[in-house]
């Protein structure tokens, strides 16, 4: 069985770091900021969380030639 991180470790590291940065923006920084800038940091934090998860998805995606291989084959 292929290791989870394997050759796409950079996707996992970058995606996790970006998602945690977005979560920090949403949970720690934006509640302390008032007005329009608070709403902008809130939206930016949500965007970074989603972007980080999308990057992790690219790290777990199969290669096109392996996409339709039957489950029993290795």
Domain ranges of the chain: 9-60
CB count in 10 Å sphere of residue 61:
11
CB count in 10 Å sphere of residue 25:
20
> How far out from the chain centre does Cα 46 lie?
11
- Please indicate whether residue 63 or residue 45 has the higher confidence score (pLDDT): 45
Residue 71 backbone phi and psi in degrees, to 5: -65, -30
If pLDDT is split at 50, 70 and 90, which confidence band does 1 have? very low
How far is it, in rounded angstroms, from Cα 10 to Cα 48?
A: 17
0.85 exceeded by pTM: no
């Amino acid at each position: 069985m292929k290791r989870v991180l394997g050759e796409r470790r950079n996707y996992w590291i970058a995606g996790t770091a970006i998602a945690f940065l977005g979560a920090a923006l949403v949970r720690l920084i934006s509640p302390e900021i008032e007005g329009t800038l608070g709403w902008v940091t809130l939206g930016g934090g949500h965007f970074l969380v989603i972007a980080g998860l999308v990057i992790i998805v690219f790290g777990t995606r199969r290669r096109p030639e392996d996409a339709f291989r039957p489950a029993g084959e290795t």
